[in-house]
Chain A
Amino acid sequence: MNEVCFKNIDKENPSSLATYEATGGYSVWRKILHGELSPEAILGELKTSGLRGRGGAGFPTGLKWSFMPRNQDGQKYVVCNSDEGEPGTCKDRDILRFNPHSVIEGMAIAGYVMGATVGYNYIRGEFMEPYYRFEEALKEAYDAGLLGCDIGDSEVNFDLHTHLGAGAYICGEETALLESLEGKKGQPRFKPPFPANVGLYGMPTTINNTESFASVPDILARGGQWFADLGVPNSGGCKLFSVTGHVTKPANFEIPMGTPFSELLEMAGGLREGRTLKAVIPGGSSTPVLPAEDAMKMTMDYDSIEQVGSMLGAGSVIVMDDTTCMVAALTRLAHFYYDESCGQCTPCREGTGWMYRVLKRIMDGQGKMQDLDLLTSVQDKIMGNTICALGDAAAMPVESFIRHFRDEFEYYIKHGKSMVTKVNSDG
């Protein structure tokens, strides 16, 4: 546990440059500055490591970096997506708070590999403390001569800037993030062209999640194979899981991929006394919900979670016990997506509001039995038809909640009240 991004979390002053360097921090970057590490070698190690994007989509990081037209003339950019807004996730916040230098080093390495001399870290608007911690670390790195122009006469250039968002969930979508970074309204761009060809200010750009960047220095310091071996096939390394909901000790846990869910639940202190597990959302609010028996079967890696019918996503595990009214839970989620849709494209703009209104009506005791088929049909029409993944994210919970807990919805419609009688003291 806590081998990579969180390795310094228990040390005194974990975010400082001294602590980071004491555990081998910036050793890879210095090797690069001394000309001892080639981009090809780095890409090779990354591919060996099996590191997959930690933001939710799980795209292999090494492959993503290799898409950049490294030798093309003109400015290129690396961007770190620290706009961590997915309900249930809070891992990037803690990386920025406790290990900001790993993000800086990871981004610098990425810049070197892809020929990008400028990086931006886009931090979620609400993250004031992480923002200041990161800025502090950035200043330390500059003062130590680790960033800038012609760093230590190495002819390597890398400048890194921090950007604080304004609190829109959609800006976590990578192309909306780029729009926002350019000073425009945060709305996703259609793809193709992909950011690797036309990104920030129209130039080739690679965007990775905070955790992905933070994992890179250790992978290169200790070898891709070492990282891969931490996990299971197709899910290399370890990963941060944010466990929230009805557990006694909600927290972030960095554990090897493939760890059984039951163990993770135990780490989080298990359920409260007298409660039983009802459902789990394993990867953040956009991923399908799993009933308890399916959740208990899964191990925390991409393939296993997919097998039981959901996704690892950003590793945000939302635990729900038997006091949870699934109708209320889904209504809350639907409201979130209704509120956060950017409104640009038709299915999401119109569909999220429609789904929320139908659910609200059911909650108000005005539901009709055919509303369940209607909800399923609306989510199905959003799915796959939108510019970005927010539409899918809004659709998937609706489909899975109704599929797994249809009886609870039917009960609510028939009786105008929830099937769940056990009162949750959290309200």
Chain B
Amino acid sequence: MVDIEIEIDGSVVHGHSGESIISIADREGIDIPRFCYHKKLSVAANCRMCLVDVEGNPKPQPACSTPASAGMRVHTNNEKAKASQKAVMEFLLINHPLDCPICDQGGECELQDVAMEYGSDVSKFNEGKRIVADKGIGALIQTDMTRCIHCTRCVRFGAEVAGIVEMGATGRGEELKIEPFLSEGIQSELSGNMIDVCPVGALTSKPFRYEVRSWQMNSVESVARHDLVGSNIFTQTHKGKVKRVVARDNESVNETWISDRDRFSYEGLTNENRALTPKIKVKGEWQEVSWEAALEAATSGIKKNSAEAFGALASKNATLEELYLLQKLTRGLGSENLDTRLDVANPSSTSALETTISLAELEAIDHALIVNSYLRLEQPMINHRIRKATLNGAKVSTVNSLTFDFNYRVANSVLSAPQNTLATLSGVLKALLEANSLALPDYLKDTKVDQAQIDIASTLSAAENAVVVLGEQVNSNPCADQVAKLVTQIAKASNSKTLNASATGNTLAAEKVSFKPNGGLNAAQMFTANLNTFVLLDVYPTYDCVDSTAAIEDLSRDDAFVVAINSFEDESVLGFADVILPLASFYETSGTHINIENVAQSYGASVKAAGDSKPGWKVLKVLADLLELPGFDYTDSPQVADDALSLSPNVATSEVDIIAMEVPNIATVWQYTPYASDVLTRHAQSLQQTQIGQISEAVVSAATAKILELSQGDCYKGVPVNINETVAEGCVFVHTNQARQR
């Protein structure tokens, strides 16, 4: 890239040779009107709004597609440029309905804004306007295609970013329509970004439809905490309610996109199942009481029992502050029984894998080995970065128990049930070591290597910037620690980086404050140790616990006193809890999220907590005070965050041995759809209505189904059985939005 000087509107500006005029102008703060141009999408040059006068050219040139060259003299607002821009504006408006008063885009519409400067007061168009019939495209995006100006941003977003060719321009001339090719709607975990890129009211947010005018809302900077990225967002609020969530640019985190989960989960905040008032259970009956009474009941219940019989369980999505205070409270009481890993088959064997790659670096990889993950749905923004790399030629290999619909081509795909995953990865590792003539550790001596494993190994060897990703499904594997060790060894042998996506949400905050037992009981052990006191922080055992039935039975024991600091109430919580302290949910509390790059992002509350609920850090601080524990003299949450962030977690480096596993012949992999991954999303109605939200199937091969005596349409652990051959032999892959059953 050569630095060049060009002149725009008389001032000398700098750019790179070949850079578009509009990109230089944008950097220099020179305003050029545009509709089809979007910095993250390919150039289309079809709206013609950015026509500018380039000296030496008889015709005006589009600033978006004209590369700058040294000495070029550009006029963005002389008579010639203005005439062209006004001409295009006039054409865009003739068939636009101008129904701004009833259009949700009103007030934030690019067409409206640009028309203010370039449009005319009176239209010369006296013919009938074009009307376009809408095809519904699902529960999230509202279409009003009569308003469409055919800029194709949504089409390009779909094809280039989301990797789905579902929106297209059909017909020609005036009959050109932007519509889905199929009438099944847009099935993408990133579809909501189409709303953001649409410059007009053709694509708007369906849940937000007719809620409130855009200018009546406050935009509050916040951070989404559903996944490992912590996408930057604006929560847009009106009268104390979150009305909409939109993306906030942060190039190093989420660029300019957010996932649908981050965008639409806010709907759950107003769900009828929210816990809104403090409650205590008196003789089996719930009584709504004051905060003082509820806290008093909680305190005296906790004080009754010994510290050894106290256990704390927290959600992975809790804030850093909440996790810090709850662990401090637990440890202050003298207990080491605390955990967030409720969904892990064997919490004493967690996947200790360090993440050694940044989000930006993911775009530069040339190979990704994805182990035990449907990354596309689990971590949409991480998957998006990998997809970008594949567009530049990166190859992807997978070791999974089900064939997933990735939005890029998978070069090597190995199906492997959990009980065979160690053998598969051992084969890959052995092939790698042998190819590089490295010494084999003992545990690989008897390992057999097949061609598929050699293929993965040779792709890894050939790559210069590879990454090995370990995903959530490893949690269904009782030997997750061994899988993680093999992944580490594979990365070491192939000089690859690693990315641990096995636990989501704010897991790294839990790591930071050591929210796991150091000598005490882990999540699974707590339910078999006859503990007398439990404090739950936004935990819902029906969904969150691997063996939900056992967990609920244990929590329901007569001698178990359960304090649920929860944002939602469900039947099981109401069944086993003794005190419910209503918790402020996402966006209702200040907090801190630590993302995959170990970046701590703090945010304030966007709205006041619903009902009588209170931010978790306040509840825990007061509870600790009432328990007369020292060190809780906090007056605001940043003080808590400061203390939490100053901790250096004790990294337990226990040696993991690769040993023969004790696993069932037929394993179950339990994977939630992205819209059942946490309590807020589970209560967001629109997300539940999407095709992704409604996935619920137990996929099993014909041979395995025969052993289990299952047939198509039966239920396996409450989930409908789907027999096909996309799944590894010897396992049932449950992909569902339903609560866990035995």
Contacts and interface: CB of A to CB of B under 8 A. Distances in A.
Interface string A168-194: 101000000000000001000010100
How many chain B residues sit at the interface, stated as a range, is 35 or more
B127 A354 contact: yes
Given A350-B92, A353-B174, A357-B127, A343 B67 contact: no
A385 B127 contact: no
In the complex, which of the residues A185, A338, A345, A346 has the most CB atoms of chain B within 10 Å of its own CB atom? A346
A397 to B, nearest CB: 17
Contacts, number: 96
Given A192-B67, A385-B87, A387-B46, A343 B94 contact: no
A351 B91 contact: yes
A381 B90 contact: yes
Contact of A338 (B62, B66, B171, B174): B174
B519 interface: no
Interface in B91-149: 91-92, 94-95, 124-125, 127, 149
Interface residues of A, number: 33
A354 B173 contact: no
Q: Describe B's contact surface by its main secondary structure.
A: loop
Contacts of A248: none
Nearest to A193: B67
A192 B49 CA distance: 18
A170 B49 CA distance: 22
Contacts of B150: 343-344, 346, 349
A255 interface: no
Max count, chain A CB within 10 A of own CB: residue among B43, B66, B124: B124
A201 B332 CA distance: 68
Nearest to B94: A350
A369 to B, nearest CB: 14
B217 interface: no
B47 A345 contact: yes
B173 A346 contact: no
Contacts of A380: 87
A13 to B, nearest CB: 40
B43 A346 contact: no
A266 B94 CA distance: 47
Nearest to B151: A346
Give the interface centre of B84, B125, B169, B174 by most chain A CB atoms within 10 Å.
B174
Contacts of B706: none
A384 B175 contact: no
A15 interface: no
Contact of B47 (A339, A346, A377, A384): A346
B65 interface: yes
B58 A385 contact: no
Nearest to B45: A190
B283 interface: no
Contacts of B95: 350
A236 B630 CA distance: 99
B48 interface: yes
B335 to A, nearest CB: 65
A385 B90 contact: no
Interface in B24-61: 43-49, 51, 58-60
Interface in A331-384: 338-347, 349-354, 357-358, 361, 374, 377, 380-382, 384
A374 B48 CA distance: 21
B62 A346 contact: no
B172 A354 contact: no
A27 interface: no
A323 interface: no
Most chain B Cβ neighbours within 10 Å, of A192, A339, A349, A377: A349
Interface in A303-339: 338-339
Nearest to A381: B87
A16 interface: no
B364 interface: no
A349 B176 contact: yes
Contact of B65 (A190, A346, A347): A190
Contact of B172 (A343, A351, A381): A343
Contacts of A346: 46-49, 88, 91-92, 149-150
A262 interface: no
B91 A381 contact: yes
A354 to B, nearest CB: 6
A386 B65 CA distance: 13
A328 B117 CA distance: 38
Contacts of B92: 346, 350
Contacts of B172: 168, 170, 340-343
Nearest to A169: B172
Contact of B58 (A185, A340, A384): A384
Contact of A341 (B47, B94, B149, B174): B174
B176 A350 contact: no
Contacts of B124: 374, 377
B46 A340 contact: no
Contact of A339 (B49, B84, B173, B176): B173
Given A350-B94, A384-B59, A385-B88, A345 B169 contact: no
A228 B51 CA distance: 40
Contacts of A190: 43-45, 62, 65
A17 B494 CA distance: 62
Contacts of B67: 192
Contacts of B87: 347, 380-382, 385
Given A192-B67, A354-B94, A338 B173 contact: yes
Contacts of B65: 190, 192
Contacts of B62: 190
A409 B66 CA distance: 40
A10 B180 CA distance: 54
B127 A361 contact: yes
A175 to B, nearest CB: 12
A387 B45 contact: yes
Q: Which 8 A-B pairs have the closest CB atoms?
A: A343-B176, A381-B87, A350-B91, A190-B45, A341-B173, A384-B59, A357-B127, A343-B173
7 contacts: A192-B67, A342-B173, A343-B150, A345-B46, A345-B48, A346-B150, A347-B91
Interface of A: 168, 170, 185, 190, 192, 338-347, 349-354, 357-358, 361, 374, 377, 380-382, 384-387
Given A346-B92, A350-B91, 17 more contacts: A192-B67, A339-B173, A341-B172, A342-B176, A343-B150, A344-B46, A346-B49, A349-B91, A352-B174, A354-B127, A380-B87, A381-B91, A384-B84, A385-B48, A385-B51, A385-B60, A385-B88
